[in-house]
Amino acid sequence: MKLSKEMKKYILLCCLFCLTLGVNKTLIAQQIEWMSLEEAVEKSKNEPRKIFIDIVTEFCHYCKKMDKETFTNQYIAKYLNENFYPVKLDGQHPNDIVFKNKNYSFVRRGGQNSYHELPAKLMNGRLSYPTIVFLDEKQDVIQSIPGYRNALEFELFINYFGENLHKSMPWSSYKRKLQGPTKKAPQIDVKNK
């Protein structure tokens, strides 16, 4: 049976459409499922997990760069969704937030100098954006790490804290173990408990 030129075009368009649907479905499945801190704490009551917090501001160029280049990595999205409750927190959030039975408020100082008390506390008073924060299952800070991180650096952090390696191995040992002639682990000051 010989297909007409019109029929061939129709079949090709249908195939492309189906392929596009499959690609979009894959991309959607690999996005980070961001939630509010309140939602993460609530979910933790039934299914305890660590909480990952990305502290950002609207004016932060490197925050947007991490969104575009780091958080779109499929491995990172999958790992965060499966092992953490991922939270995006505005460092200038205008509303009060109750966290661990304490109320945190917005401090108005004018423009970019304004800040929210909770992100400031999580960043140890060092207002630097972006800052990533890892909380344990009891919502205690494990580590806050300021600055832009590319996908390779970020993958090291989520594995180190996600697999609880911080409890048994200093960051310097973990970094040394991973560094080979071509790998370069980021320099950070990780507090070990």
Closest CA to 190 of 125, 134, 149: 134
- In what helix (H) or strand (E) does residue 119 lie, and over which residues does it extend? helix 117-122
Q: Using the CB atoms, write b or e for 150-183: b if 16+ within 10 Å.
A: eeebbbbbbebbbeeebeebebeebbeeeeeeee
Q: Write out pLDDT tens, residues 141-178.
A: 999 999 999 999 999 999 999 999 999 999 888 888 87
Indicate if the alpha-carbon torsion angle 136, 138, 141, 142 is positive or negative: negative
Structure tokens at 29: 């499945």
Show the domains of the chain with their CATH numbers. Answer: 31-178 (3.40.30.10)
Q: What is the mean pLDDT of residues 8-26?
A: 53
User: In the beta sheet, which residues pair with residue 89?
Assistant: 55
Q: Write out pLDDT tens, residues 104-113.
A: 999 988 777 8
Instruction: Please tell me the pTM assigned to this model.
Output: 0.78
E strand segments, 24-160: 50-56, 84-90, 97-99, 102-104, 106-107, 115-116, 131-135, 141-146
